[in-house]
Chains A and B, each alone.
Chain A
Amino acid sequence: MPEAKNKAVKQDFEPDILVFCCNWCSYAGADLAGVSRFQYPPNMRIVRVMCSGRVDPSFVLKALKEGADGVLITGCHIGDCHYISGNEYAKERFEKLHRIIIKQLGINEKRVRLEWVSASEGRRFADLITEFTNEIRGLGPLKFY
């Protein structure tokens, strides 16, 4: 993969980040960040899902396999889930994914993160993306040859 090679060689490395946003809170939060013209780095791509509970751990693994340097899953705050407990389910699954799979694969756990962003938190969404992007940038590419 020549592209990946360049990524590693390049001094100012730009990470590829995948963000899962739930339809009801986080996506609206991202939207708000957009309309409010809050700036954040353009390294991420958003996948909208109906609920954070929809994010199967295999999605995260496949993203990492296909070259994402970091994956961020966002959902409504606990108690605010549109489907009542989807985010609790997401949290439970996510913790297992972290502890049993990501860690044991030897992938830095900071690359995969779960955060709650509500529809009104446009500012927070922008800050979160900035912070996460910088963190991944600091960690460097997941792929190196």
Chain B
Amino acid sequence: MCQLSKVQIYTPSKIIQLILEGFEDKVLKSEVLWDCLTCNQCLKDCPENINFADLARMARYKMRHTTNKNVEELIAHKGVYTTISEIMSRPYINPDRNLDWVPKDCPISDKGNLLYYVGCLPFFNYEHDKVDSIAISTLQILSKIEKEPIVVFKDEVCCGHDLYWGQGKLKTFIKLAKKNLEMFENAGVSTIVTACAECYRTLKIDYPEIFEDFSEKFEVKHIIEYIYEMWKEGEIEFISSSELSEEISFTYHDPCRLSRFLPKENNITEKVREIFKEFEKLNYKFNEMAHNKSNSLCCGVNSWMNCNEKSKALRYKRMLEAKDAGTVMVTSCPKCRIHLSCLQKDYENLASIEIVDFSEFLIKHIKIIDKNNKKEESE
């Protein structure tokens, strides 16, 4: 069932039917396709495999040119963040990012093998708290495990996700993609790690559709996958942090981009749960929310579009589920964290839930297995 229909009248099947019956113009004119959350829930349930979210994206491209409606009104924060992305797409703009957040013990470079693609986090600092800590913990994890310095760009540009999905700005998206590709090539990277669900989906699925050999040249990994692999290869183990005395129950919010937007063989949702299972040994208790994995509820704001009372209701539903499931809510999308914790300012009863990013959650619990030591022991 459509997620949006939980809070307003919205029937994707009816819209599809109208289009099939030849009323495409009417549908476009009615502007209903601006409302869709592009959460992909309906694709999962659709017997005919109709990708409604993608349809909404393409319709937005068309609607922008035909509509009289002021699209800007639909964008959250008066469009600050999407305008930033657009400015970055210009060929004459060379971002000069603040790298003060980089911890002293994490060597970084501008050329190398493994790139940490930070995403727009440094810009979110503008209004949202503690977003740096996601970048810090991700980089700390990476530098703990890797021997070489991690590549972090000072002039990294946006991946373009929000413009692509939110406003159907295909041309700007392609400009950004080209800029990114050029930077990846110049730096000679072969692996790209990101902690953002949206960047991940964009680099993994959308870029290869524009550049044929993208997936041959670069391997894109979400930090979950990266940690999972390292763990399976026996490079790291999970330890309990000394501060823990009593059992902590926690839950996981699946971002739509990781649970419904990836091909079937990509089982990130299972991998992350396997890691959490391991955490049960460390005095943690993992509980599922009522809606989980590919059924998980949306945070309500996609690509900074349509932040209104309806999307607030969606967030409220999600937070209630989280409250039932535990005291800590882990997520792996920085924006999910931003939107969900935004709600906590308005509702005291929800303020007790601690919302953390996957990397922030793990950083205290990762230990490198020292292979040399082991060898000596066995000898």
Contacts and interface: CB of A to CB of B under 8 A. Distances in A.
Given A58-B78, A96-B126, A97-B126, A104 B98 contact: yes
B83 A106 contact: no
A103 B98 contact: yes
A56 B83 CA distance: 13
A70 B377 CA distance: 67
B20 interface: no
A87 to B, nearest CB: 20
Contacts of A61: 79-80, 83-84, 87
Interface stretch (A11-19, A32-40, A112-120, A137-145): A137-145
Interface in A71-105: 96-97, 100-101, 103-105
Interface string A52-73: 0000111101101100000000
A106 B126 contact: no
B79 A62 contact: yes
B154 to A, nearest CB: 9
Contacts of A97: 126
B96 A104 contact: yes
Contacts of A105: 84, 87-88, 93, 95-96
B208 interface: no
Contacts of B22: none
B155 interface: yes
Interface residues of A, number: 21
Contacts of B88: 105
A61 B80 CA distance: 7
Interface in A116-144: 142-144
B126 A65 contact: no
Interface string A5-46: 000000000000000000000000000000000000000000
A62 B96 contact: no
Contact of B93 (A56, A58, A106): A106
A106 B94 contact: yes
A8 B83 CA distance: 23
B92 A145 contact: yes
A104 B90 CA distance: 14
A96 B92 CA distance: 23
Interface in B60-117: 77-80, 83-84, 86-88, 90-98
A58 B95 contact: no
B234 interface: no
A47 interface: no
B214 interface: no
Contacts of A62: 79, 83
A100 B126 contact: yes
Contacts of A101: 80, 84, 123, 126
A59 B79 CA distance: 9
A145 B175 CA distance: 14
Interface footprint category on B: 20 to 34
A61 B93 CA distance: 13
Nearest to A144: B92
Contacts of B13: none
A10 B155 CA distance: 29
A108 B61 CA distance: 32
Interface string B236-259: 000000000000000000000000
B125 interface: yes
Nearest to A57: B80
A143 B92 CA distance: 6
Given A62-B79, A145-B91, A106 B96 contact: yes
A106 B80 contact: no
Interface string B143-166: 000000000000100000000000
Most chain B CB atoms below 10 A, which of A100, A142, A145: A100
Given A58-B79, A58-B80, A104 B92 contact: no
A105 B83 CA distance: 11
Contacts of B98: 100, 103-104
B122 A104 contact: yes
A59 B77 CA distance: 11
Interface of A: 56-59, 61-62, 64-65, 96-97, 100-101, 103-107, 142-145
Given A59-B78, A61-B80, A100-B125, 11 more contacts: A61-B87, A64-B87, A96-B126, A96-B127, A101-B84, A101-B126, A104-B96, A104-B98, A105-B95, A143-B90, A143-B92
29 contacts: A56-B80, A57-B80, A57-B126, A58-B77, A59-B78, A61-B79, A61-B84, A62-B79, A64-B87, A96-B126, A96-B127, A97-B126, A100-B123, A101-B84, A101-B126, A103-B96, A103-B98, A104-B96, A104-B98, A104-B123, A105-B87, A105-B88, A105-B93, A105-B95, A106-B94, A106-B96, A107-B93, A142-B92, A143-B90
